[in-house]
Structure 1
Amino acid sequence: MRIKNINTKEWYDIPGHNQYQINYFAEVRKKLKNGKSKKMHPYVKKSKGKQCIKIDGKEEYVFTLMRITFIGTLPKGMVAYHRNGIKTDDELSNIGVITRSELSKMTSRKNGRSFIVAKLSGDGEIVEFYKSAREAGRKNHMSYQTVLNYVNGETKKIFAPDGYAYCRDKEMEIQKTIRRIELERKKECGICFIQAPSVMFEF
């Protein structure tokens, strides 16, 4: 870990970009000559589904800026990844480090097709279970592929055309989906529902 003790209220210089800083919540700002700062606004690149930002005239992934700032150079064979699978959630607590082979296994399990599907309301409450993605699609008037896309987080929106969210019936997947719903609610009304504590990482 490049920075051992991280304060969630502090801003940190981004290596290689002296005029820019980033914080625990993946917010980026530019330092101005008058001593003030200007907050930068990221956008989602459709081809990758990740947040991007332009600094020093170049497009950079916010995820990459978080990694080089807080984690640093990774050991050979190690990769950084989003813990909850949400590619736009670049908060430091959601960035983990794992071996490339372990990440490959996780991705393979994610792409499996035999699983129970949970249906969640806009309040994060589970309202129904289905024995397969096909059944979920059939009973909610959607295609099998549409349900899979939402279950696998391959869509920009959290809610399917019927207004509900879908995920695998696994604790980690359900919590991930609830987190996405909370992020969506935060985006809509500007309220933060999740309070992140000060953290210390060790590798």
Structure 2
Amino acid sequence: MNMEIWKKIPGLDVTYEASNTGKIQRQYRSKDKLLTGYHKRGKKVVKVKRQGKMVETSWSKLVWSAFNGPIPEGGYVRRKNCRLGYELDNLILLSNKQNGKMFGGLQKKADIVVYESDQEQRFFISARSAGRYLHLSYQTVLDTINNKIKKPIYPLRKATFEERQGIVGMVRQSRGINYIEE
């Protein structure tokens, strides 16, 4: 059976300790108090005192920094298995690029909407921007591109993979534009 090891968390005004089993406690003069934390946007966070102010900090960052030192600039601490707790063995330090490669692909990509008429072909980076331009609701645009409307008002469709690859680069170059004309 593993022994629980407590280490001081560096960089904080008050003495906080983290254990290798994922617990955090604050040391008072007469006793120690285990912190419970709370969940915010899918992460467990806790408020600790740093530079005279109470700041919200990720639970995993505190446990990692207690045993491995400060987190380098651009570093990101994640749990290897999200179903398990915040034990030291379950934490991993990633760069922002590695984190994006591992977990960013799980995010749902927004569809690029294509409006084709006899005179023009226009690309929109989102269903909302297409709806604004065509004076339709967001839901109507989504229903049209998903073929849920029998007789659509405008000929809308999703962009193909090849169209999408060319458009994404153009949108990145021209930030702030909702549609792109060819």
TM-score range (shorter-chain normalised) is: 0.3 to 0.5
TM-score (norm 1): 0.42
Q: Which has the higher contact order (CA 8 A, sep 6+)?
A: 1
